[in-house]
Amino acid sequence: MKKKNIIISVILAGFTSVMTSSCTDWLDVKMSDNIMENTLYSTNDGFLIALNGIYVGLNDVYGRDLSVGVIDVMAQYYNVTENNDHAYKIYAGYKFEEDAFERTSSNLWTKMYENIANINALLDHCDEEGSALRKSHYSLVKGEALALRAMLHFDLLRIYGPVPQEETASQTCIPYQESSVKDIQPLLPASQVIEKVIRDLEAAAAILKEGDPIITKGVQNAVPSDDGLDRYDFAYRQLRLNYYAVQVLLARAYLWKGDKAKASQIAKNEILDKITTTEVEVFPWITEKAIQNEKKPDRLFSTEVFFSLYDQARSSMYSNLFNSSLEQKSRLTFVGQGIASADSKITTFYDDASNDWRVTTMWDVVTVVDKSEGDDEEGKEGEEETPKTKSSLYSKKYMDPERDATFDGSETYRYMTPLIRLSEVYLILAECAQTDDEAISYINKIRSHRNCRSVTEQDGDRQTLVTKEFAREVLGEGQLFFYYKRLGMESIISGISATEPYNMLLGNYVWPLPKVEIDKRGTVEL
């Protein structure tokens, strides 16, 4: 690395360290800190490093809790409640009052608003007189920063805000921090928050439309040249909030607002019609060859991922949550003891399990000695007690081969945490379609690329078909809980039963404000 880049990285570390622990303590910096900030933004490279630092910071939020861990457990994917000692039982039971839950909530709140503070500082410098930000980089830096601010606030709304209904629109929930001032910002009604999210996303899309190379050149996995930082500036667009990813976020936001017509229009006109042209290949469906690769299967279906975080430590998600060597109380599993057993959630969750690539490449069975039974009776003399065993189903979606990935685009998926993918676009269109036939055609488009049989109206009503397909597609990606919440669903797919639904209380969808924020404010009126 060049010496100047090392210096700038050190400056960024110092700059980040002065950011506050919550939205109520903004940029309480000393003179020396101001000098460090001004030094950081004195060069174009400084802007790029600051933006990179924000993306890295997202791994602390979405690298586990808001992707594969807490939020997916709360969506009742996994069978954790039958084990009283399971590390995730409090989340599956919505035990908001537990200290561990409060610590998780406070940590997420703090880190998300820290990132927002960093974003606002970056935005403040983008348009200042004499800015060092090059014209060639302006649209990417500012557009992505605005989109990131909107995404973080949107997810805060989806966590702490009310179930989106007409009668809850006026309920206050979170502040929308859009400047770097340190004043305490008011808690806004949910309706105002979603409008600000949409405003920022539309502004970001307009800016990115002018300069995002993904529109004309695609994601550009191959590094085009070896010329310092510039070699990555316009490449690997699936690892950034690119123009199309922003449009998906917009469609999500309009659905949250209840505007299906606008969500559908965006999904069709601004995304699907644009990425399926013959001029440039953007987000193609995964190939069977990539999925079935014996040594390095692409279980993420990564070519379809619109936006993903990049984390070289991502393998820890598998090793800490799914690995077959983990104790039962630490592992996230599906209910059932075999892929095709009578009690298996696999056979009900996936309606074509023997063919579905989401099963054949992503699920396996582990059999271990069951230590939970104990030794209540002493064995008779001369007899050996047969160890009791227990089998369970675990996901291999984030399993990683034992070697480093090649950073040339061919194996980048091994360090990716997907947050937005192609199939969601089709499912938005299915949910918003004018007719059931149209909706089913969108669903079957996905299923044809999963090696599954087509579905018909006899397989269920439209919403049921969309819900089940969505649940299969985003497992491990932190979206199902928010899907249920948006629709106010009181009967959802169960984590403890292969056949019976889970009866959900609407109150379970709403996290209370964390103590770290309440303490800053003194009192909170909701």
Residue 236: strand, helix, or coil? coil
Classify residue 22: in a domain, yes or no.
yes
77-86, 150-159, 211-220: which is most confident: 150-159
Q: Give the Cα separation of 514 and 519 in Å (integer).
A: 9
| Long-range own/partner contacts, residues 135-139 (CB < 8 A, 24 or more apart) | 136/211, 137/44, 137/47, 137/48, 137/233, 138/211, 139/207, 139/208, 139/210, 139/211, 139/212
Range 365-386 average pLDDT: 58
Q: Give the Cα separation of 348 and 346 in Å (integer).
A: 6
10-14, 17-21, 30-34, 459-463: which is most confident: 459-463
Tell me which residue has tokens 């506050």.
20
Q: What is residue 252's predicted lDDT score, i.e. its pLDDT? A: 98
Classify residue 352: in a domain, yes or no.
no
CB 304 within 8 A of CB 423: yes
Residue 198: strand, helix, or coil? helix
Q: Which candidate, 161, 53, 79, places its Cα nearest to that of 393? A: 79
Classify residue 488: in a domain, yes or no.
yes
Q: Which candidate, 433, 329, 440, places its Cα nearest to that of 86? A: 329
Structure tokens, 517:
């924020």
Is the pLDDT at 113 greater than 70? The verdict is yes
Range 307-319 average pLDDT: 90
Classify residue 35: in a domain, yes or no.
yes
Strand pairing class (363-369; 502-503): unpaired
Classify residue 321: in a domain, yes or no.
no
Range 174-180 average pLDDT: 92
Q: How confident is the model at residue 391 (pLDDT cuts 50, 70, 90)?
A: confident
213-227, 284-298, 394-408, 497-511: which is most confident: 497-511
Q: What is residue 32's predicted lDDT score, i.e. its pLDDT? A: 41
Structure tokens, 407:
């950073």
Q: How confident is the model at residue 337 (pLDDT cuts 50, 70, 90)?
A: confident
Q: What is residue 85's predicted lDDT score, i.e. its pLDDT? A: 85
The structural domain count of the chain equals 1
Top pLDDT among 387 and 82 is at 82
Q: What is residue 34's predicted lDDT score, i.e. its pLDDT? A: 52
Tell me which residue has tokens 């993306």.
55
Structure tokens, 259:
């505007």
Q: How confident is the model at residue 333 (pLDDT cuts 50, 70, 90)?
A: very high
Q: What is residue 449's predicted lDDT score, i.e. its pLDDT? A: 98
Enclosing H/E stretch for 442: helix 436-448
Residue 238: strand, helix, or coil? helix
Q: What is residue 341's predicted lDDT score, i.e. its pLDDT? A: 84
Range 175-180 average pLDDT: 91
Is the pLDDT at 31 greater than 50? The verdict is no
Interhelix angle 480-487/462-473, nearest 10 degrees: 160
Q: Give the Cα separation of 485 and 504 in Å (integer).
A: 10
Q: What is residue 294's predicted lDDT score, i.e. its pLDDT? A: 81
Is the pLDDT at 469 greater than 50? The verdict is yes
Residue 420: strand, helix, or coil? strand
Residue 395: strand, helix, or coil? strand
Classify residue 339: in a domain, yes or no.
no
Classify residue 303: in a domain, yes or no.
yes
Residue 491: strand, helix, or coil? strand
Top pLDDT among 455 and 35 is at 455
Q: Give the Cα separation of 158 and 142 in Å (integer).
A: 24
Close Cβ partners of 17 (under 8 Å, ≥ 6 residues apart): none
Range 424-436 average pLDDT: 97
Nearest-5° angle of CA 82, CA 85, CA 89? 60
Is the pLDDT at 389 greater than 80? The verdict is no
CB 169 within 8 A of CB 189: yes
Enclosing H/E stretch for 113: helix 99-126
Q: Give the predicted TM-score (pTM) of the model.
A: 0.89
Range 172-193 average pLDDT: 91
Average pLDDT, the chain: 86
Q: Convert the pLDDT of each residue in 125-162 to its tens digit.
A: 998 888 899 998 999 999 999 999 999 999 999 999 99
Tell me which residue has tokens 């409060």.
102
**Count of residues in the chain:** 526
Q: Give the Cα separation of 124 and 500 in Å (integer).
A: 52
Range 438-459 average pLDDT: 97
Q: How confident is the model at residue 225 (pLDDT cuts 50, 70, 90)?
A: low
Query: pLDDT over 70 for what percent of the chain?
Result: 84
Q: How confident is the model at residue 523 (pLDDT cuts 50, 70, 90)?
A: low
The CATH number that applies at residue 426 is: 1.25.40.390
Structural domain span for residue 163: 3-314+402-521
Ramachandran area for residue 218 (φ above 0: left; ψ -120 to 50: alpha; else beta): left
Q: How confident is the model at residue 220 (pLDDT cuts 50, 70, 90)?
A: confident
Q: What is residue 388's predicted lDDT score, i.e. its pLDDT? A: 66
